[in-house]
Amino acid sequence: MKTKLALAFAATLCTATAFADAGKGVNDSIKFRQSGYAFMAWNMGKIKAQLEKPETFNKDQVLAAANVIAAVANSGMGALYAPGTETGKGWEPTRAKPELFKEKEEVGKLAGNFRAAADNLAKAAAGGEQGAVKAAWGEVGKTCKACHDKYREKE
Amino acid sequence: MTKVAVWDVPLRLFHWLLAAAVAALLVTAEVGGNYMTWHGRLGLFVLGLLVFRLLWGFVGSSYARFAQFFPTPNRVRAYLKGEWRGLGHNPIGALSVFGLLGVLTLQVATGLVANDDIGFQGPLYPLLDSRWSELFTGIHHLLAELLQFLLALHVAAIVFYLRIKRINLVRPMLTGDKEVDEANSAHSQARQGGGILAAVVVVTIALAVVWVIGSGHVVQWFAPPPPSIAPPPAW
């Protein structure tokens, strides 16, 4: 009788821990992807600030920011959208729409566009020509927006 | 049929500039990217237009003044009974004027602190905690939908007047004149007041408001002081 009770208790504990771990994985995924986007936004802002003051345009700072954006864009963020992460909380409740997890081809396309635009911005930043950087920056913004418009809940 | 002067020049300019600006705002918001800079500039322009209209509603010519056409319950009831007479905005038209101006004012106000999570921030964004910006950005997006609906209604009403009632409301808003059967009857007075001096003063105030807000001066006056004057760490 006592053995059965002990076994039942152990089984419940294991199941509870397993669920707790699963919750933690979802929580981390959402946290990391929210962090990634926020970090890129900071760097987009840095480049924009440089573009708004052409006289003091610092090519190296712009390149550093562009490299960050390209690095994050190429870091395989798809892995953070594993099944199970449709709902949950990272730093805040996820605003990813359920469609993001269903329309895989379209999402993949938008993600590819975003990576290409980010790579292009890094290239333009390396070149140092302000006009090219401005155009490339605008294109990255458009790829961010393309996914937001389709797959992110409005505030 | 004679022509009576109803809409003054500043008012007509205001109307068509506003229409063009709002159209451009909707397009720039849709396109995004580098066009967000223009979205911001146009938003400030609309701020100026709205400040102008608010003041002109008190010192402009007769039919531009809010008191002249404000849709009180009595006036609305009279209109619905077919008893309203007048040259300016009828009470239902007046409701649409205040509705559109109200939504546009809220749109500008929320836009001043909004952000697009990418690279755009309204000029007053530094004044608030970013969570407020999130909230007001959400309202800004919602109101954009409402605005498009109201604009469609506005255009539909004009078309309704044109096709069904056979009254052209576009031409008066361009030329300023309305055709009446009996000029200078009790309900067909030509507009009075709202001269050059009033216009110059009101436009100057509108420009001042836009300059103060758009230039960052408001932020400098009201933003919390930075934690210290020493530069941030360089690592």
- Alpha carbon of A58 to those of A66, A78, A128, A138, B118: distances in Å? 12, 33, 9, 18, 21
Task: Tell me the three state secondary structure of residue B177.
Answer: strand
Q: What is the pTM of this model?
A: 0.90
Q: CA–CA separation, B32 vs B200, rounded Å?
A: 35
Count A/B contacts: CB-CB distance under 8 Å: 42
Q: Closest partner residue to B34 among A41, A138, A154, by Cβ?
A: A138
CB within 8 Å: B141 and A155:
yes
The reply to whether residue A148 touches residue B35, judged by beta carbons under 8 angstroms, is: no
Q: Convert the pLDDT of each residue in B138-187 to its tens digit.
A: 999 999 999 999 999 999 999 999 999 999 999 999 999 998 887 557 77
Chain B residues with CB-CB distance to A58 below 8 A: none
Tell me which residues of chain A have a C-beta less than 8 Å from any C-beta of chain B. Answer: 37, 41, 44-45, 47-48, 134-135, 137-139, 141-142, 144-145, 148, 154-155
Number of H helices, E strands in chain B: 9, 2
From the list A47, A48, A145, the residue facing B32 with the nearest CB is: A145
Tens-place pLDDT, residues A71-119: 999 999 999 999 999 999 999 999 999 999 999 999 999 999 999 999 9
Chain A nearest-CA distance from B48, in A, is 23
